[in-house]
Structure 1
C-alpha cells in the first residue's frame, strides 16, 4: 500500500528553541505523568520570557536512556533565539540547532480527542512506509529524541475561529 503521507524535508534555517519543563517517566506512568506535566506547565507558561508569537508549543519524549525504559518527557513553548541566550530559572531549554535536517509531517484531525490516534498513525506511516525508501535514516541518536510534536493555531479562512494545527518534526540524516 502506498503511503498517503506528505513529508517536507529541509534543514532548519535557524535554531528553534523551546522553553519549558520536563519530568522523567516510563511507558506505564506516562499516561498519568503527562497530564500532570501539562497542568504544571500550563500554570507557569505565561512566565516564559521571550515567547514567539504566535505561540508554538512542543512536546518531546526522549529516547529511553535507562534500564526499565525511563525517559524524559518535555513540554515547552518556542522562544526567540535572543531569549534563549539567557537561562530562565525554573525552566529548561530544548534546542534544535540551525542546519538540523528535518522531515515535517502535517497531522490532520477534526476532533481534538482523536489527535493522539492520528499522531500514532502518522508516526507509524513515517517509520514503516516513508523512511525505508526515502534515502534518509532517523538521527534520533544525535539529539536524544526522534521527533517533536508541534502544536500551534492558525485562523481559518473566512472565519473568526482558530484551528489547532499539529505537525510532527522528525530529525533525520542522509543514509
Structure 2
C-alpha cells in the first residue's frame, strides 16, 4: 500500500513545528511521502534530517500545487481521503478505504479550500470533534495499517532499543551492518 500525506494551509511563520510533526507522524506511521502545499525549506530540511539519522525512505516535497497533485493522484488510480471533523465516521468507511492500494491523505492547517471536499473520495472525521490534525493523522494511519506500522524496523544511523525504564539508543556503524559503532 502506498500512502502519501498532503499538507494544506501551512503558514511558514506559524506552522513549522506542527507541520514538521505531521511529517514525523506520516513517516513513523507508514506513509511514504509528504507533499507540502507551501514553500518551507525548513520543514523539508528537518524531515530529511530525521530520515537520514533514523532511517526509512520517506520523501518530502514542498511548494506543490495541491489541486494538480490531487488530480494526478486520482487519475493514476489513487484515492483521496480528506481528514476533517465534519466527515463520515472513520469506523464506517475504513474498510472501503483500506481496499485501495494508493491513498492520499489530506490534512489542513487552517480552513481548507471548499473544493477539497468535492475532490476527495472520502471526507473522514476522526471523532467528529475539534482536535489536532496530527492526532487525526496518527489515528487514521494506525487504523489504516491495523497497528502493523508500529512494528516496522527502520535502517538508520540511530535505533531505539525498547526498554521498560530509561533510554537506550544504539548508534549503528557507518558501514550499515547493523552493528554498533565501536568508537575511536
Question: Shared fold by TM > 0.5?
Answer: no
Normalised by the size of structure 1, how large is the TM-score?
Answer: 0.22
Larger radius of gyration: 2
Greater fraction of residues in helix: 2
Higher relative contact order (CA 8 A, sep 6+): 1
